Copies of this chain bind each other. A is one copy, B any other.
Amino acid sequence: MKQTLISAVAVLLTGSMAAQQKPLHSGYPIDPVPFTSVKVTDGFWGQRLRASREVTIPLAFSKCESEGRYDNFVKATHPSDSNEAPGFPFDDTDVYKTIEGASYLLQTYPDKKLEQYIDSVLVLVAAAQEPDGYLYTPRTMNPRHPHDWAGKERWTKVEELSHEFYNLGHMVEGAVAHYQATGKRNFLDVAIRYADCVCKAIGDGAGQLRLVPGHQIAEMALVRLYLTTGDEKYLRQAKFFLDARGTTSRRDAYSQAHKPVVEQDEAVGHAVRATYMYAGMADVAAVTGDSTYIHAIDRIWDNIVGKKLYITGGIGARHEGESFGANYELPNLSAYCETCAAIGLVYVNYRLFLLHGEARYFDVLERTLYNGLISGVSLDGGSFFYPNPLASTGGYSRKPWFGCACCPSNISRFIPSLPGYVYAVRGDSVYVNLYLGNQAELKVGGKKLTLAQETDYPWNGSVRLTVQRGGGDFCLNLRIPGWVRNEPVPGDLYSYVDGKQPAYTVTVNGEPVQADLQKGYLPVQRKWRKGDVVEVNFAMEPRVVRANEQVEADRGRVAVERGPLVYCAEWPDNDFDIHTVLLRRSPSFEVKTEPALAVPLGEIMRLTTEAQALSYDESGRLTTRDVQLTLIPYYAWAHRGEGNMAVWLPIDLRAAQAQTIEGAKQKDNGFFR
């Protein structure tokens, strides 16, 4: 294998530099500011992006190599009855996803060596493509005896296990990113050929097969391909995949095919597939203006944030089927919260913001981003969680890779894309959605604008925005986060115990700004000049969150937040079993930054509070011990070995015991059976 790769790398490649056609408008009322226009400076995200560049992406490529992902393309180039099918029908996508992530990095950090490496990989990919564009190594490598889950013939199992359309989706996503980052078509043209092959075979027309993806993603990818190429056939195909869903032989809730998509109103089934589909619905709705899609995803979003969202912004309560649970079914120890599902939920919320321009979508996005999503990757970028539970009795640690490697490769492509989520523009107004150090080149009302952001967010709430170049008469919309507006999550799934006045200040060149919030944003309308400085300050004292009483797993417990960060109790910071802790009825918290703890968690702030540890003496009497409980940000847990962890902390006796019981299945004391 090594030889093949090396020889491939040897091939000198020059992607055709044919003039890029200007992308079409997405149709969203709000324009994204692409990741290519935002350079993240140092700080919280700078560290994450560096880790992604220096560790995650190289690791992912090396795993693609060592785990045989490239071999599959080589085998497909030389079909044989002796070729063995790979581990999973979607192994090819690990390659596509890593290239996508690498492409985002190339944009920000040009890297000839990396670009050449990718080109060499693309040689292998292109070589595996069949003459009519079909590109699916599990079949091509051994057409006479394809693996069982591939199906005897093309597409025969695409609604179940074969993932032929899923592979197309990630191929297109990666190819478009690579094209936008490098201007080269060597991946894009491969993707277009496979897309054409699918469009030809699948559809409502004569001689076509009416089939929909078993695992969604092609829907949003094909819209992206349409916007990139201008060829409407891809948009039609995306719409077909959505509209045919629930009308083909596949009719189950697991794959969101229990009813036509426009009639759906509850988030059900496999959480990743679901979010990818909702994102695709939003994209098609934006381009076509079809509001029935929008009504459906609005209803589904209400269901998710109102009944199925973890406080960490994670989704998917059940390991079984990697799926959403029933309303309010949000167990902590057995929470699934797949990293990929968190990424999918970011896609959905971002698109709903582009449609509706409301801050609440970014409130959910930020909650997921800072908690349930980045918990999926270690601070050094080298190991990953597949599920992200909210409690642990030990046995959980991040791994460098998985046989089913969707999460690491999804992290590879998501983290580098983060800069694209910071700003958005609508006509002559700018949305500032995320607070992190960066410099951005925007186009507002047709004029160029360079904005700089300086902040230690999420550790403190001070943000300094400077107009570095350009200016003019426009409105700067500053998102006032839900945790400042007393709304941890839209709806009544979670609420702050200590409701208080939203505490924030905004000044322009030192002058206080007074204005009413609009859709969660503070609008600052003025004639901006170079050098104008906006200073934002959000109060950041720790806050106690209570879950809706209908969430059985959280009854009698509370979670603790500071700013956008959800905190948890972990064993290394506490000299007692955290699963025996009981908070005071009205706990107060101290904020501490201690270098002692800084290693290996990086710069973090701990919280401490007076509490009690509960136990029984030999005569079976309950005893209590005063203790100081230390909390760390949830994303930072599991960096110091395996052990107990809990996000929801008992503040009354029932919860104290319930938590013990959850963990006590093995150490049954004789009364929990």
A30-52 contact mask (Cβ, 8 Å, vs B): 1 or 0: 00000000000000000000000
Instruction: State whether A620 and B586 are in contact (beta carbons under 8 Å apart), knowing that A546-B671, A671-B556 are contacts in the complex.
Output: yes
Set of chain B residues within 8 Å of A669, measured between Cβ atoms: 585
Interface residue A451 (Cβ < 8 Å from any Cβ of B): no
A630-673 contact mask (Cβ, 8 Å, vs B): 1 or 0: 00000000000000000000011111111011000000011111
How far is it, in angstroms, between the C-alpha of A654 and the C-alpha of B670 when the chains are bound?
Answer: 15
- Among candidates B497, B585, B586, B624, residue contacting A624 with C-beta atoms closer than 8 Å: B624
- Among candidates B558, B584, B586, B658, residue contacting A654 with C-beta atoms closer than 8 Å: B658
B622–A651 touching, CB < 8 Å: no
B652–A671 touching, CB < 8 Å: yes
Most buried by B among A614, A624, A653, A660: A653
Set of chain B residues within 8 Å of A585, measured between Cβ atoms: 616, 620, 669-671
Interface residue A619 (Cβ < 8 Å from any Cβ of B): yes
Q: How many copies does the complex hold?
A: 2
CB distance from A552 to the nearest CB of B (A): 9
- Among candidates B497, B584, B622, B673, residue contacting A670 with C-beta atoms closer than 8 Å: B497
Set of chain B residues within 8 Å of A661, measured between Cβ atoms: 555-556, 652, 654
Interface residue A312 (Cβ < 8 Å from any Cβ of B): no
Set of chain B residues within 8 Å of A556, measured between Cβ atoms: 657, 661, 671-672
Set of chain B residues within 8 Å of A652, measured between Cβ atoms: 657, 660-661, 671-672
B671–A584 touching, CB < 8 Å: no
Interface residue A621 (Cβ < 8 Å from any Cβ of B): yes
- Among candidates B546, B616, B622, residue contacting A614 with C-beta atoms closer than 8 Å: B622
A624–B621 touching, CB < 8 Å: yes
CB distance from A619 to the nearest CB of B (A): 7
B651–A653 touching, CB < 8 Å: no
Set of chain B residues within 8 Å of A651, measured between Cβ atoms: 671
A592-622 contact mask (Cβ, 8 Å, vs B): 1 or 0: 0000000000000000000010101001111
- Among candidates B497, B619, B621, B653, residue contacting A653 with C-beta atoms closer than 8 Å: B653
How far is it, in angstroms, between the C-alpha of A658 and the C-alpha of B671 when the chains are bound?
Answer: 16
A621–B584 touching, CB < 8 Å: yes
Set of chain B residues within 8 Å of A497, measured between Cβ atoms: 670-671
- Among candidates B584, B657, B671, residue contacting A619 with C-beta atoms closer than 8 Å: B584
A interface residues, tally (CB under 8 Å): 36
How far is it, in angstroms, between the C-alpha of A639 and the C-alpha of B655 when the chains are bound?
Answer: 35
Interface residue A111 (Cβ < 8 Å from any Cβ of B): no
Interface residue A549 (Cβ < 8 Å from any Cβ of B): yes
Set of chain B residues within 8 Å of A473, measured between Cβ atoms: none
B549–A653 touching, CB < 8 Å: no
Instruction: State whether A624 and B626 are in contact (beta carbons under 8 Å apart), knowing that A654-B654, A672-B549 are contacts in the complex.
Output: no
Interface residue A257 (Cβ < 8 Å from any Cβ of B): no
Interface residue A582 (Cβ < 8 Å from any Cβ of B): yes
How far is it, in angstroms, between the C-alpha of A587 and the C-alpha of B622 when the chains are bound?
Answer: 13
CB distance from A591 to the nearest CB of B (A): 20
Set of chain B residues within 8 Å of A658, measured between Cβ atoms: 654
Closest to A650 in B: B653
CB distance from A582 to the nearest CB of B (A): 6
Closest to A556 in B: B657
How far is it, in angstroms, between the C-alpha of A651 and the C-alpha of B654 when the chains are bound?
Answer: 11
Set of chain B residues within 8 Å of A584, measured between Cβ atoms: 619-621
- Among candidates B549, B654, B660, B673, residue contacting A546 with C-beta atoms closer than 8 Å: B673
Closest to A614 in B: B653
How far is it, in angstroms, between the C-alpha of A652 and the C-alpha of B616 when the chains are bound?
Answer: 10
A564-588 contact mask (Cβ, 8 Å, vs B): 1 or 0: 0000000000000000001011110
Set of chain B residues within 8 Å of A622, measured between Cβ atoms: 582, 612, 614, 624, 653
Closest to A661 in B: B654
A65-98 contact mask (Cβ, 8 Å, vs B): 1 or 0: 0000000000000000000000000000000000
Closest to A626 in B: B621
Set of chain B residues within 8 Å of A586, measured between Cβ atoms: 620
How far is it, in angstroms, between the C-alpha of A56 and the C-alpha of B324 when the chains are bound?
Answer: 58
How far is it, in angstroms, between the C-alpha of A672 and the C-alpha of B653 when the chains are bound?
Answer: 11
How far is it, in angstroms, between the C-alpha of A411 and the C-alpha of B361 when the chains are bound?
Answer: 62
How far is it, in angstroms, between the C-alpha of A439 and the C-alpha of B224 when the chains are bound?
Answer: 93
A153-188 contact mask (Cβ, 8 Å, vs B): 1 or 0: 000000000000000000000000000000000000
How far is it, in angstroms, between the C-alpha of A497 and the C-alpha of B673 when the chains are bound?
Answer: 10
How far is it, in angstroms, between the C-alpha of A620 and the C-alpha of B558 when the chains are bound?
Answer: 15
CB distance from A241 to the nearest CB of B (A): 40
How far is it, in angstroms, between the C-alpha of A585 and the C-alpha of B655 when the chains are bound?
Answer: 18
How far is it, in angstroms, between the C-alpha of A652 and the C-alpha of B662 when the chains are bound?
Answer: 13
Set of chain B residues within 8 Å of A621, measured between Cβ atoms: 584, 612, 624, 626
Closest to A557 in B: B671
Set of chain B residues within 8 Å of A626, measured between Cβ atoms: 621
CB distance from A225 to the nearest CB of B (A): 49
How far is it, in angstroms, between the C-alpha of A655 and the C-alpha of B657 when the chains are bound?
Answer: 8
CB distance from A93 to the nearest CB of B (A): 42
Set of chain B residues within 8 Å of A558, measured between Cβ atoms: 671
Q: What are 15 A-B residue pairs whose CB atoms fall within 8 Å in the complex? A: A582-B622, A584-B620, A584-B621, A587-B620, A612-B622, A614-B622, A652-B657, A652-B661, A652-B671, A653-B656, A653-B657, A653-B660, A654-B655, A654-B657, A656-B657
A sample of 16 more A-B contacts (CB under 8 A), given A546-B673, A652-B671, is A555-B661, A556-B657, A584-B619, A584-B620, A585-B616, A585-B620, A585-B669, A585-B670, A612-B621, A621-B624, A652-B660, A652-B672, A653-B660, A654-B657, A654-B658, A654-B661
List the 3 closest pairs (A to B, CB-CB), nearest first: A654-B657, A585-B620, A653-B657
